[in-house]
Amino acid sequence: MTEEEKAYFARMPSMLPAYTALREKLEERFPGLNVKVAKTQISFRSRYIFAMVSLPWRKNKQWPEEYLLVSFGLSYQKQSPRIVQAVEAYPNRWTHHVLVETREQIDDELLDWLEEAYHFSMVK
């Protein structure tokens, strides 16, 4: 993990363990993974971005105070109670958002969705 990634979590260090778990598991599945830190998000790339993480930028009464927002793209709207929002940004390009509060929530289900997003990013 880079110092830039660690610095991204300065305002919410409690989310660093969840991010670390996610990053490590993505690196295991996708050797050669590229990570880019920007002001508002951290992107995971293959050929294109397939997943992003961000910290809360505004309050939502139904959401916890602290969380890691994991976002990924697919060609269809995936249905799950874990997905707090899905938006069709372009035709057949759905962006899904999952709230992660603990490293234990970086589980096989979420990782399988991210793997599906990875493969989708390779053919779009």
Q: In this model, does residue 63 exceed pLDDT 90?
A: no
pLDDT tier at 58, thresholds 50, 70, 90: confident
Task: Please indicate, yes or no, whether the overall pTM of this predicted structure exceeds 0.85.
Answer: yes
Q: Are 74 and 94 in contact (CB under 8 A)?
A: yes
Quote the CA–CA distance of 75 and 69 in Å, as a whole number.
Answer: 20
Per-residue confidence at 61, pLDDT binned at 50, 70, 90?
confident
Tokens of 112: 């399988």
- Three-state SS sequence of the chain: CCHHHHHHCCCCHHHHHHHHHHHHHHHHHCCCCEEEECCCCEEEECCCEEEEEECCCCCCCCCCCCCEEEEEEECCCCCCCCEEEEEEEECCEEEEEEEECCHHHCCHHHHHHHHHHHHHHHHC
Does the pLDDT of residue 44 top 90, yes or no?
A: yes
| DSSP bridge partners of 51 | 44, 72
Instruction: Answer whether residue 1 shows pLDDT above 90.
Output: no
pLDDT tens string 80-120:
999 999 999 889 999 999 999 999 999 999 999 999 999 99
